[in-house]
Structure 1
Amino acid sequence: MIISKNWLNEFIDLKNISTDELVKTLNSIGLEVDGVTTIIAPKKVVVAKVMSKEKHPDAEKLSICQVDTGNEVLQIVCGAKNVEAGQFVAVSLEGAQIGDITIKRAKLRGVESNGMICSSTELGFAKINDGIMVLDNSIGELTLGKELCEYPLFNDELIEIELTPNRGDCLSINGIARDLSAALDINLKEKKPFKDVDNAEGIRRILNVHFSDGIDGNLNIKAIELLNNIENTLKVKLRLASIEELKDNAIENLLSYTTHASGVLFNAVDLSKLCNECEQISLDVKTKENKEFVIKYKDKELAIAGITQNEEFKIDKDSKKIIIIANYVNPKIIANTHKNYKNTDIYRSFRGSEPELNIGIDYLFNLLQLNKNIKIYGSSCQNTPSKEKISINCNISELENMIGQSCEKNDVVKILKRLGFELSIAEDNLYLKVPFYRHDINNSADICEEIVRMIGIDNIKPKPLDFYELNRTN
């Protein structure tokens, strides 16, 4: 699991926490850090704007650009195919150190060039395209002449975490932030709920979903329509490229981006590939023999247990009307059924994805709503079965005996609440309800482990083992 401190900071305020302290905390709570990589743009690389572009008179593949760097307009010869007038770009000024190269004034095919318009890879970041990197306001307000390293996205740390198989709840930025909230005693930032725009056309104009009784899984189905071609923001591209999940399709990228951020799993289906002439399409959701649910259109299975089965209906660059399916299936069902479905990616669902689907829906559709070329249909088709959370009763004395030292009751309560447990207290007795995303919590010993993780094993005072030989009379 790869996270970045900048991305994590969108969920929990870490401005006063150093990277060293963050890494130490992650290790102490059982989220083992494999490595940390600092990614920072070189000095003297600034935000600039391409004012004009002309063909080089003696080189077909080169362009002569006039570029405003805030203090002056520089002439720069550029070989990238995607450079255009009006773009905001990253420009290396004279004296900038780009890898092993120091930028100098030069002549390219007889034309003076006073800097370099850069790609993401030239600046030491992941590859997002085959040309120069075009800047947008997803990184912050674009100010001509401002050094790129002053933007948090270009001055960050990538942290790679090795997770044990039982911690599927931490396969997201949100899940790791939740654990850090308990360990550092810092509140999580409030999540912005998504709201349909006034007078939005309802989803039932184009889609009807029938849910059979007894479906053991959460589903939230919404619909969008692409009014024009869309492109991902630079922030989305860079972050996905850094975790090696950047694809050619903008919607697929947003689904991957949201899953990495929230832990909620998504599928997307092209409605026109189901029925190009239909004004309204009907889907059925039924349960199969191992309690896995299947989403069907007529006799065709679109997804089983949340896993896409039919590649025929996947979205592509020409897709217009798209249904987006957020889903959760109990990982025990995945364990019993995954052998029946070959060549499917079950890494997240097998370990336990985020069951609170609105976390992902809100995150994704707040992003989609920023793009004027996307029409979002109002409301959704949902299935959220009523389930009882696992109840665990324990008392402070029992926990102290397992830990081996006394604990402040208020500290124990605070830790468990920040980790998402519901609890009530009667004297020293704790009555707990386990959050659905913690599939690994079953008894008071597991509760003890959570408290020890957050206190820190190094903060448990060592003491000798008392061993007594019992008197035996025969």
Structure 2
Amino acid sequence: MKLSRKWLEQYMDLSGLDMNDVASAVTDAGFEVEEILPMSSGTNLVIGEVLTCVDHPDSDHLHLTTVDTGDGIRQIVCGAPNVAAGQKVIVALPGAKLPGGEIRSGSIRGQQSDGMICSLAELGVDKHSLTEEQLAGIEVLPADAPVGNTDPRGYLGLNDVVLDISLTPNRADCQAVWNMAAETAAILKRPAEFPEYEGAGNAGNDKETDLVISSTTEKCPSFLGKIIGSITIKESPKWMKELLRASGVHSINNVVDISNIVMLETGQPMHFYDLDALPASELICKDGLECEYTALDGITYSIQPEDLIITSAGKPVGIAGIMGGDDSKIEENTTRLLIEVATFDHVSIRNTARRLALNTEASVRYQRGIEPLAAKKALDRAVDLLIRYADAKDIEKTVVYGTDGYIPRTITCTLAEINGRLGTDFVLDEVMDVFKRLSLEPELDGDLITVHVPSTRQDLEGMADLSEEVIRMIGYDRLPSTLPLMEMTEGKLNPQQKQRRFIRTMLLENGLQDAVTYTLVSQAKNDNAILGRGNALELPVPLSEERRFIRRSILPSLLETLSYNLSRGNKNVSLFEISELTSDQGVDKHLAIVLNGNLESVRWLNQTLPTDFYTIKGLIEEMLIRLGIGENRIYFKENKTDTRHFHPGRSAEVYIGKDLIGITGEIHPLYAKENGIRQAVMAEIDLDKVLGTKKSKVRFSPVSKYPAVSRDLAFVVKKDVPAGKIVDVIKRSGKLDKEAVVRSVEVFDVYEGEHVADDEKSIALNMTFQSDRHTLDDAMITKVFNDIIDAIQKQCKAVLRSA
């Protein structure tokens, strides 16, 4: 398995790591890196232009050239037979260090030579990847190569490093670059993002097709075919050619290269046929044939009855799972395409490949095993790339024979079982983190951990396999050993760390999921920063436009994650993230929450807790109160700070005393549409202000042994008077002998309509009275009750409706 740095960097950020670090981490996790192979090497190189080229006066094979290197003209003696004036070439200047040694100025047969014109082989490029012409002479660059460019290796895409990884028999899934990259990301604890291609193969499904796809043998249980009615054969994009070269595959043209790149990405071999070269619009997999057949390599093979053959109109057109035919290959004049993606019996492919001595990239993958869903992934990805890079049009309906046979599996275990098997003392968070990083989607029910085995991981069958995953990801150095007894320094969390951990735990307890999103964001997300302070810091050389700025707000990233989940059928998504944000004014810590659907659901009781404004308001209140911030210090006021991202009538500013700490509420409909979301409630909280607020100790209060009394009140007030103001007045006024005897206030009705003026509303409240000192008699309650009525009438200009 060959994996290059450039290919990994398409999916994850490897900043701060060189390939030696990656190789070490991957090896420690059970994938032996046999070799770290630079695709080329050399220092002090430059692109030059050969101005003149004449025969050396004292040699029958050397040439005397003058070369413009951008900083002057140098005389260089060159022995390559293909050197000529007007060529753009790679020049190693004096002092350059190449795999063969250091280049120095000197005299060659009486003529001064100030450098060397290089071939790719002299730069250490694998000779097996070079043509005979390239091996015989210097490398001639395109006519538009920039003279004076000091990075010719980068210009040619040879500034890459390749890991040659030996896979164990049980990890056939890592034959696919995507799977190996996901594994590498999990090992390095770095987020990975893969191309979005799902469903691309559905293009044309609204069009009928006369294509016939079938199989007459049990050795081909699943077979997919699709006609692309119009394609353009041309040169492949630079990135594709570079990745193929790093994998040891020659670039041919865009269409053939797409079939190879998809096989490398997904691990699923596929074959493209020139539709016009086939005898019929038909592909049928058969065995039982005995014939001679000429494959793509031009060699004629003897086909035996046990071999699987792809046929069209009864004529062989490919050796199934191994190699296509010479008579239907993609040519420069190909305009129509037939895609074949199938599942074949690995034993049959192994026997045929061994007998024919044809160990192709496709046959090796079939022999080791392919994940059940790889065929659909490969078809989707191939159509996606053909549309983008081969101008694919007139796409017809996908024809499917058989089924993939995939049945989702789950495995259960407990932390005690894993620790018991490994002899370790891992905590639950460590084990759950491993399962999450490996995309096993762990669920915890009491002590029982249930993991959902991805289609790629057919090697996971039981608890023993899960324990192996845990130890190899956490590290074999964590296996217990006996150490000398010595003094240890106590490690502990500081107060702010404790509070952050408490907030995270509390939100997890309430059913939210802890998310980790990218620190680097696009211009659009930066422009939509919520509670963002200062100006964003821009990377001088960003990896892409999507990763240009260091973010000042978390919510835009969380909303993207919500949209991603909703678009894939995930419902009831409740997320939060705690992260540091950086701007030109410093570093801030924020908490963001996004809720969609139901926060809780008990189907057998037919009970749900919907996520609305009051749900997220309650979460914030509970968090602040449990941190030790008194309920009387927490205020929610009308949102006037941000009505672009929040619904102006269904959102609020959150205050601790006079300090604005955040905004919460329903997403603005227009902003929701921008993010591909129908409905969500969200909040962004300045965590630094919360953590820096002086807090009271959370103390235990015994339950009062005296009875409680409930009373109702209804007032008519102006519409602009918030119910919260009345609640505050009740709490401040509900005292008896300096003891607060109003234990709770609940608004249970707000009425507007008949018998109430147009600019007024009726608010009904329920109050509970209770003392910790004695039983409250009617006189005491009546006194407090009347005091409350008087205070409300004066401070809220209310009219008593009923009591």
The interval holding the TM-score normalised by the smaller chain is 0.7 to 0.9
Task: Report what 1:468 is aligned to.
Answer: none
| Distance in 2 separating the partners of 1:103 and 1:362 | 53
Instruction: State the distance in 2 between where 1:77 and 1:224 align.
Output: 54
Tell me if 1:404 matches 2:423.
yes
CA distance in 2, matches of 1:144, 1:392: 60
Q: Mapping of 1:191-270 within 5 angstroms?
A: 191-193=195-197, 208-210=211-213, 216-217=221-222, 219=224, 221=226, 223=228, 227=232, 230-231=234-235, 240=244, 243-246=247-250, 251-270=255-274
Distance, in Å, in 1 between the alignment partners of 2:70 and 2:196 is 35
Q: CA–CA distance in 2 between the matches of 1:206 and 1:63?
A: 62
After superposition, residues 326-337 of structure 1 pair within 5 angstroms as 327=341, 329=343, 333-335=345-347
1:285-308 Cα shifts (integer Å, max 9, x gaps): 56879xx99753111344576444
Structure-2 separation of matches of 1:370 and 1:4? 23
Change (3 A) 1:24 1:100: closer
Deviation at 1:419, TM superposition (A): 2.3
2:211 counterpart SS class = strand
Q: CA deviation at 1:362?
A: 6.4
- For residues 462 and 181 of structure 1, do their structure 2 counterparts lie closer, same or farther at Cα, with a shift above 3 Å needed? same
Q: Deviations over 1:229-248 (max 9, x none)?
A: x4456665565555544376
Partner of 2:315: 300
Conservation of the 8 A alpha-carbon contact between 1:423 and 1:431: yes
8 Å CA contact 2:66–2:73 kept in 1: the answer is: yes
The alpha-carbon distance between structure 1 residues 385 and 359, as it changes in their structure 2 partners (threshold 3 A), is closer
Give the residue type in structure 1 aligned to 2:260.
Answer: S
Residues 397-417 of structure 1 show CA distances to partners (whole Å, capped at 9, x for unaligned) of 322322222333333333223
Partner of 2:368 in structure 1? 351
Cα separation, 1, equivalents of 2:430 and 2:146? 44
Three-state SS of the structure 2 residue aligned to 1:265 is coil
TM-superposed CA distance for 1:459, in Å, is 1.1
The one-letter code matched in structure 1 to 2:337 is I
Contact 2:54 2:65 in 1 (8 A): no
Indicate the residue corresponding to 2:103 in structure 1.
102
Change in Cα spacing, 1:225 to 1:336, as seen in structure 2 (3 Å) is same
5+ long unaligned stretches in structure 1: 276-280, 464-474
Conservation of the 8 A alpha-carbon contact between 2:240 and 2:261: yes
Q: 1:185 aligns with which of 186, 189, 197?
A: 189
2:315 maps to amino acid: K
* Deviation, structure 1 residue 461: 1.4
Q: Deviations over 1:177-226 (max 9, x none)?
A: 22122222111133243898xxx999979972445799733636453766
Q: Is the contact made by 2:89 and 2:141 (CA closer than 8 Å) also made in structure 1? A: yes
Q: How much does 1:379 deviate?
A: 4.0
* CA gap 1:62/1:176 in 2 versus in 1, 3 angstroms: same
Counterpart for residue 632 of structure 2 = none
Aligned partner of 1:356: which letter? Answer: A
Equivalent residue runs for 1:17-416 within 5 Å: 17-48=17-48, 50=49, 56=54, 69-72=69-72, 79=80, 81=82, 89-98=89-98, 99-100=100-101, 102=103, 104=105, 115-127=115-127, 128-129=130-131, 130-131=133-134, 132-133=138-139, 144-148=148-152, 153-193=157-197, 208-210=211-213, 216-217=221-222, 219=224, 221=226, 223=228, 227=232, 230-231=234-235, 240=244, 243-246=247-250, 251-275=255-279, 281-285=280-284, 295-303=310-318, 306-308=321-323, 311-315=325-329, 317-318=331-332, 320-321=334-335, 323=337, 325=339, 327=341, 329=343, 333-335=345-347, 338-339=350-351, 342-343=355-356, 344-345=358-359, 346-353=363-370, 355-357=373-375, 360=378, 374-379=390-395, 381=398, 383=400, 385=404, 387-416=406-435
Q: Which structure has more RCO (C-alpha within 8 Å, separation ≥ 6)?
A: 1
Scaled by the length of structure 1, the TM-score of the pair is 0.73
What is the match of residue 469 of structure 1? Answer: none
Counterparts in 2 of 1:10 and 1:152: CA distance versus 1, 3 Å: farther
* Secondary structure in structure 2 of the residue aligned to 1:47: strand
Q: Which residue of structure 2 lines up, in the alignment, with residue 424 of structure 1? A: 443
Deviation track 1:354-378 (CA, whole Å, cap 9, x = no partner) reads 533465456656666675xx44235
The alpha-carbon distance between structure 1 residues 62 and 256, as it changes in their structure 2 partners (threshold 3 A), is: farther
Deviation for aligned residue 1:157: 3.2
Q: Aligned letter for 2:103?
A: T
| Deviation readout 1:310-346 (Å, 9 max, x if unpaired) | 624352655514636363527xx32266436742543
Distance in 1 between the 2:255 and 2:15 partners?
31
CA contact (8 A) 1:55 1:62 kept: no
Cα distance in 1 for residues equivalent to 2:238 and 2:70 = 21
Contact 2:120 2:139 in 1 (8 A): yes
TM-score (normalised: structure 2): 0.46
- Offset at 1:121? 0.9
Q: Distance in 2 between matches of 1:251 and 1:287?
A: 26
Shift of 1:169: 0.9
Q: 1:347 to 1:202 in 2, by over 3 A?
A: same
Range 395-404 or range 101-110, more displaced? 101-110
SS in structure 2 of the partner of residue 6 of structure 1:
helix
Q: Identity of paired residues, percent?
A: 24
For 2:473, the equivalent position in structure 1 comes to 454
Larger Rg: 2
Paired position in structure 2 for 1:472? none
Deviation at 1:265, TM superposition (A): 1.3
One-letter amino acid of the counterpart of residue 365, structure 2: R
Q: How many residues align?
A: 441
Amino acid at match of 1:29: A
Q: 1:21 to 1:272 in 2, by over 3 A?
A: same
Structure 2: 5+ residue stretches without partners: 289-306, 483-803
2:425 alignment partner, SS class: coil
Mapped to 1, the partners of 2:421 and 2:377 lie a distance apart of: 35
Quick check: 2:419–2:426 contact (8 Å CA) kept in 1?
A: yes
Q: Distance in 1 between matches of 2:180 and 2:157?
A: 19
Structure 1 residues 329 and 202: CA distance shift in structure 2, 3 A:
closer
> What amino acid does structure 2 have at the position aligned with 1:219?
L
CA distance in 1, matches of 2:236, 2:106: 34
